[in-house]
């Protein structure tokens, strides 16, 4: 796995984008930037085991290099599920397809370069929307989640993981500080952390826990429950 040192040298002021340089180091970036990344995949696998039916279609929205889907395909072999990863970054999709081939999973796991705002699909068993909604323009999120609700079969589920903000400024500040400590513990320097934060400033826009829950309820989901939280990161299960 290539090491993420993108922000060691980079002093440019460009906004963050999921280009080929990011795709190249992305697996390392996720593992060192998203607290409990692996645990959330493990928990998602438990949820899917409980809620999915045999031969269900599982779609990962903003699948990046396909790590989550390839892990799930391994864990959930017995259910004969069909997996599709969707991402609008060509570099990510190319890498994901290569990994599927390397792991011999290309028959069960497919990848498509597409904008998740343009989906038109029915009878989906589960959507995964992990750390992706935060990159969708806030004004598009309600329409997107409502469309995803319509695309699920009755009883289908959506797993949503997001970075979140808090309306209490002391809690918000403290939880951001705890997150910065986590990144330092993963080997990122102060300057790398600052540069990346600046690059993400207008690109990653987190909602609060309440805003996310309200949006998912308005989209149609009758059940929305958080199943995981690490300070300013949380994962929800929404059931149709
Ligand atoms: C932080 S990464 C997601 C990580 C991945 N879900 C995981 O858990 O390993 C966000 C991804 O969403 C993709 N993305 C952002 N907006 C998108 C959109 N409108 N349509 C499709 N993909 C999008 C980006 O290209 C990027 O690969």
Kindly report the CATH number assigned to the domain that includes residue 192: 3.40.50.150
Nearest to 206 by CA among 157, 170, 172, 158: 172
Residue 132 CB–ligand 1 contact under 6 Å: yes
The percent of the chain in helix, strand and coil, each rounded to the nearest 5, is 50, 20, 30
pLDDT above 80 (res 8): no
pLDDT digits (tens, 9 = 90+) for 188-213: 888 888 888 888 888 999 999 999 99
211 inside domain: yes
pLDDT above 60 (res 11): no
**Beta-strand (E) ranges in the chain?**
57-61, 82-87, 109-113, 124-130, 152-163, 223-230, 233-239
Q: What are phi and psi of 133, to 5 degrees?
A: -55, -35
Provide mean pLDDT across the span 24-50: 92
Our count of domains for the chain comes to 1
CA of 72 to the centre of ligand 1 (A): 17
Decide: 61 and 116 in contact? Cβ < 8 Å: yes
1 inside domain: no
Decide: 93 and 19 in contact? Cβ < 8 Å: no
Q: How confident is the model at residue 76 (pLDDT cuts 50, 70, 90)?
A: very high
Helices (H), 127-226: 138-151, 169-185, 190-200, 209-219
CA of 162 to the centre of ligand 1 (A): 12
pLDDT above 90 (res 24): no
Decide: 99 and 110 in contact? Cβ < 8 Å: no
137 inside domain: yes
Radius of gyration of the chain (CA): 17
Atom of ligand 1 nearest to the CA of 130: 6
**β-strand partners of 127:** 59, 158
Atom of ligand 1 nearest to the CA of 30: 9
- Rounded CA-CA distance 51/61 in Å is 19
* 68 three-class SS: helix
138 inside domain: yes
Residue 158 CB burial class (10 angstroms; 0-12, 13-18, ≥19): buried
Q: Which domain holds residue 217?
A: 6-239
pLDDT above 60 (res 146): yes
CA of 18 to the centre of ligand 1 (A): 8
Provide mean pLDDT across the span 153-180: 97
Token pair, residue 26, equals 């992305």
């Amino acid at each position: 796995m290539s090491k993420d040192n993108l922000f060691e040298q980079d002093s440019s002021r460009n906004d963050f984008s999921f280009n080929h340089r990011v795709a190249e180091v992305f697996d390392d970036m996720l593992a060192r930037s998203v607290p409990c990344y692996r645990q959330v995949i493990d928990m998602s696998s438990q949820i899917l085991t409980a809620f999915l039916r045999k031969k269900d279609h599982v779609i990962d929205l903003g699948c990046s290099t396909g790590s989550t889907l390839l892990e799930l395909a391994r864990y959930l072999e017995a259910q004969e599920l069909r997996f599709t990863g969707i991402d609008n970054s060509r570099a990510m999709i190319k890498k994901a397809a290569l990994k599927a081939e390397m792991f011999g999973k290309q028959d069960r796991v497919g990848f498509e370069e597409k904008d998740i705002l343009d989906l038109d699909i029915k009878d989906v068993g589960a959507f995964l929307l992990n750390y992706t909604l935060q990159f969708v323009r806030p004004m598009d999120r309600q329409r997107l989640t409502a469309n995803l609700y319509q695309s699920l079969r009755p009883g289908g589920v959506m797993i949503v993981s997001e970075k979140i903000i808090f309306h209490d400024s002391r809690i918000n500040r403290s939880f951001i500080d705890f997150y910065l400590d986590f990144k330092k513990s993963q080997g990122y320097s102060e300057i790398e952390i600052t540069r990346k934060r600046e690059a993400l400033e207008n690109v990653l826009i987190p909602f609060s826990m309440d805003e996310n829950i309200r949006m998912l309820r308005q989209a149609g989901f009758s059940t929305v429950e958080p199943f995981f939280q690490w300070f300013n990161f949380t994962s929800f299960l929404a059931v149709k």
